[in-house]
């Protein structure tokens, strides 16, 4: 192929989830259904929290932010996939690919950060209950969310600027259904050493630190629960962590699954299918996990929908 720099490349080709034309209608229907459920589910969670004064607490403030991020996360990827399937096209513009990389990194990173902040919130609530409202005041909550946005904003910006310095060949094919940074670095026609180094460093920092924070918080929580004498108190305290812990396991489980599947097998199809788990399935399931396992959210949803769902 003829080599050219990024100013000469107008389009990339996304190979998608499958090249079988008979599967395209099925893929379109499944992805559209999952996308609509994701948007509706997370939007209902946000509306329920904002409309119910009982949920105006730090825990649900962070949950509403997580739901908003999940909507944006999925919307960064799925609409373009649906358009390409509908048009029977694989093309994505160079500018569109840059934008997708940038926002994908922002919202993927924010998911991890918010889960860490929520773990800290549960740690304070269980280990320091008498000082909870003093420590987790509105100013601190707002600052933590703003800090998450600022950190990931600059990290994603640097990645995008570094990607803009790369050169690509005309007709470059990306073996994925969206512009994923690691896949783009593999098909670049120029040296990607600096990009790779920055990617490894930021992945370690933004992956290890949040996960370490979550594990530390839950170690403290478990230690505090073990010192409780009341079995009912233990159950009530840990039940407030159940939904969050389920989402953490789902998020990091699917993310690590994608990482290990890409490291173990060269199959781009399997890697793409695995990526669907954390880009589509996880944001779709989060509202169900919080609504089904949390009686406060169930009650708020009942009042919001006018169904009078009891808080069982």
Q: Is the model more confident about 9 or about 267? A: 9
| CA-angle at 42, arms to 312 and 289, nearest 5° | 40
Return the number of other C-beta atoms located less than 10 Å from residue 149's C-beta.
15
| Whether the predicted pLDDT of 2 surpasses 80 | no
Q: 3-class DSSP state for residue 211?
A: helix
Q: What is the pLDDT of residues 229-254, one digit of tens each?
A: 666 666 766 777 877 888 888 888 77
Instruction: List the beta bridge partners of residue 169.
Output: 3
Asked if the 3-305 domain carries CATH number 1.20.1070.10, the reply is yes
Contact 145, 65 (CB under 8 A): yes
Give the DSSP letter of residue 303: H
What pLDDT score does 18 carry?
74
User: What does pTM read for this prediction?
Assistant: 0.87
Return the number of other C-beta atoms located less than 10 Å from residue 197's C-beta.
11
Q: 3-class DSSP state for residue 265?
A: coil
Q: CB-based contacts of 289: which residues, under 8 Å, 6+ apart?
A: 243, 246, 247, 250
Phi (first) and psi of residue 19, to 5 degrees:
-100, 0
Q: What is the pLDDT of residues 63-78, one digit of tens each?
A: 999 999 999 999 999 9
| Whether the predicted pLDDT of 259 surpasses 60 | yes
32 vs 68: CA distance, rounded Å = 19
Q: Is the model more confident about 239 or about 216? A: 216
Question: 36 pLDDT band (50/70/90 cuts)?
Answer: very high
Tell how strand 91-93 and strand 11-14 pair up: antiparallel
Instruction: Give the domain ranges of the chain.
Output: 3-305
| CA-angle at 204, arms to 202 and 206, nearest 5° | 60
């Amino acid at each position: 192929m003829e080599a050219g720099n990024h100013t000469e490349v107008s389009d990339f080709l996304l190979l998608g989830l499958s090249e079988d034309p008979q599967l395209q209608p099925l893929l379109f229907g499944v992805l559209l259904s999952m996308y609509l459920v994701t948007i509706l589910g997370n939007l209902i969670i946000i509306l329920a929290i904002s409309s119910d004064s009982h949920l105006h607490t730090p825990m649900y403030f962070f949950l509403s932010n997580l739901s908003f991020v999940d909507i944006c996360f999925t919307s960064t990827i799925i609409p373009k996939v649906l358009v390409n399937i509908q048009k029977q096209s694989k093309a994505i513009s160079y500018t569109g690919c840059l934008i997708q990389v940038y926002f994908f990194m922002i919202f993927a990173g924010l998911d991890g950060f918010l889960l860490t902040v929520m773990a800290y919130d549960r740690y304070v609530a269980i280990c320091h209950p008498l000082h909870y409202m003093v420590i987790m005041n509105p100013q601190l909550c707002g600052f933590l969310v703003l800090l998450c946005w600022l950190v990931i904003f600059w990290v994603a910006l640097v990645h995008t600027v570094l990607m803009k310095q790369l050169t690509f060949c005309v007709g470059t094919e990306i073996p994925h259904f969206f512009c994923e940074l690691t896949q783009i670095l593999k098909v670049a026609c120029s040296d990607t050493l600096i990009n790779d180094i920055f990617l490894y460093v930021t992945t370690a920092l933004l992956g290890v630190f949040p996960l370490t924070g979550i594990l530390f918080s839950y170690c403290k929580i478990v230690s505090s629960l073990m010192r409780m004498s009341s079995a009912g108190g233990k159950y009530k305290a840990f039940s407030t962590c159940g939904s969050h812990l389920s989402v953490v396991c789902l998020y990091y489980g699917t993310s690590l699954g994608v990482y290990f599947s890409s490291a173990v097998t060269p199959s781009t199809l399997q890697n793409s299918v695995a990526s669907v788990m954390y880009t589509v399935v996880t944001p779709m399931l989060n509202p169900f996990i919080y609504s089904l396992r949390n009686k406060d959210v169930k009650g708020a949803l009942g009042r919001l929908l006018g169904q009078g769902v009891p808080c069982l």
